[in-house]
Homo-oligomer: A and B are copies of this chain.
Amino acid sequence: MGNFHILEQAEAVEYARGIEGLFPAGVQLSSREIGNGNLNRVFQITDSASGRGLILKQALPYIKVIGESVPLTLDRVRIESEALRIQRELCPDLTPKVYAYEPDLALIVMEDLSDHVPMRRGLMERGRYPSFGGQIGTFLARTLLFTSDLAMDLQEKKQRVKAFINPELCNITEDLVFDAPYKKSRMNIFEPPIRDAVERIWADTELHLEVALLRESFLTKAQALLHGDLHTDNIFIKPDSMKVIDPEFAYYGPMGFDIGTVIANLLLNYSGQEGWSKDAQERDDYRRYLLDSVRELWSQFELQFRALWNGHPVDRMAKTRGYQDLYVAKLLQDTIGFAGVKMVCRVHGFIHVADIERIEDAVAREQAQRIALKIGAALIKRNRSARSIEEVLQIALDAVS
Q: Which residues of A line the B interface, CB within 8 A?
A: 149, 154-155, 157-159, 161-162, 165-168, 170-171, 174, 178-179, 183, 205, 208-209, 211-213, 215-216, 219-223, 316-318, 320-323, 326-327
Cβ A320 vs Cβ B209 within 8 A: yes
Nearest to A178 among chain B residues (CB) is B317
Are A171 and B154 closer than 8 Å at their CB atoms? yes
Q: B162, A174: Cβ atoms under 8 Å?
A: no
Q: Is the CB of A216 within 8 A of B154?
A: no
State which of B158, B165, B209, B215 has its C-beta within 8 Å of the C-beta of A170: B158
Task: Please name all residues of chain B whose beta carbon is closer than 8 Å to the beta carbon of A170 when the two chains form the complex.
Answer: 154-155, 158
Once the chains are docked, how many angstroms separate the CA of A167 from the CA of B161? 11
**Docked-complex contact B208 and A320, CB < 8 angstroms:** yes
Q: Which residue of B lies closest to A221 (CB)?
A: B220
Residues of B within 8 A of A154 (CB): 167, 170-171, 174, 219
Complex A-B: 23 CB contacts under 8 Å: A149-B216, A154-B167, A154-B170, A157-B219, A158-B165, A158-B170, A159-B165, A159-B167, A162-B162, A162-B165, A178-B317, A179-B316, A205-B321, A209-B320, A211-B317, A212-B318, A212-B320, A212-B323, A213-B326, A215-B317, A216-B327, A220-B223, A221-B221
Give chain B residues whose Cβ lies under 8 Å from the Cβ of A213. Answer: 323, 326
Q: Copies per complex?
A: 2
The residues of B that contact A162 with a CB separation of less than 8 Å are 162, 165
**Known: A149-B219, A219-B154, A222-B222. Is A212-B317 also a contact (CB below 8 A)?**
yes
A contact patch SS: helix
Give Cα A222–Cα B209 distance, bound, in whole angstroms: 20
Of A159, A167, A174, most B-chain CB atoms within 10 Å = A167
Smallest CB–CB gap between A324 and chain B, Å?
A: 10
Q: Given A209-B320, A212-B318, 13 other A-B contacts at CB below 8 A? A: A149-B219, A155-B167, A155-B171, A161-B161, A161-B165, A162-B162, A178-B317, A205-B320, A208-B317, A209-B322, A212-B320, A213-B323, A213-B326
Q: Given A170-B158, A221-B221, does the pair A208, B321 have CB atoms closer than 8 Å?
A: yes
Per the bound structure, the CA–CA distance linking A95 and B155 in Å amounts to 29
List chain B residues, Cβ under 8 A from A215.
317
Report the bound CA distance from A169 to B240 in whole Å. Answer: 48
Q: Is the pair A317, B165 in contact by a Cβ cutoff of 8 Å?
A: no
Q: How far is the CB of A136 from chain B (nearest CB, A)?
A: 24
Tell which of A161, A170, A326 has the most Cβ of chain B within 10 Å.
Answer: A161
Closest to A207 in B: B320
Smallest beta-carbon distance A70→chain B, Å: 13
Question: Which B residues touch A326, using CB under 8 A?
Answer: 209, 213
Query: How far in angstroms is the closest Cβ of chain B from A185?
Result: 11
In the complex the two chains form, is B155's CB within 8 Å of A168's CB? yes
Residues of B within 8 A of A317 (CB): 178-179, 208, 211-212, 215
Which B residues are in CB contact (< 8 Å) with A178?
317
A223 to B220, CA, bound (A): 6
- A177 CB to nearest B CB, Å: 12
Set of chain B residues within 8 Å of A316, measured between Cβ atoms: 179, 183
Q: Which residues of B contact A220 (CB under 8 A)?
A: 149, 221-223
